[in-house]
Amino acid sequence: MVTNSMILLLVGLSLIAVGFALGWLGNLRLGRKHLNVARSEAQEILRESRREGEKLRKQSMLQRTSRGGSGPLRSSSKV
């Protein structure tokens, strides 16, 4: 025989389980969103650093050509 307290207990446990499942799914969605934002920011940082590196490389080449140098810059220290 099912009593009112047993029904309330089952309903309460069911609501807790549903709430837990919804929270879990919501957390997964937010996690994916934050991961996508982080990936986008990382890609932008890479693009910017490549542009900056290319700019520095071009400046270095211009300085070498204006000084009359023809080869790559070499360090004077020996390894």
Domain membership of residue 6 (yes or no) is no
pLDDT above 90: residue 10: yes
Domain membership of residue 72 (yes or no) is no
Cβ-contact 59, 67 below 8 angstroms: no
pLDDT of residue 77: 55
pLDDT of residue 67: 79
Domain membership of residue 13 (yes or no) is no
Q: Which domain holds residue 37?
A: 29-62
pLDDT of residue 72: 57
User: What are the pLDDT digits (tens) for 24-77?
Assistant: 999 999 999 999 999 999 999 999 999 999 999 999 998 888 877 555 555 555
| DSSP summary character for residue 38 | H
Domain membership of residue 52 (yes or no) is yes
Q: In total, how many domains does the chain have?
A: 1
- ∠ Cα 23 28 32 (to 5°): 150
Percent of the chain with pLDDT over 90: 72
Domain membership of residue 51 (yes or no) is yes
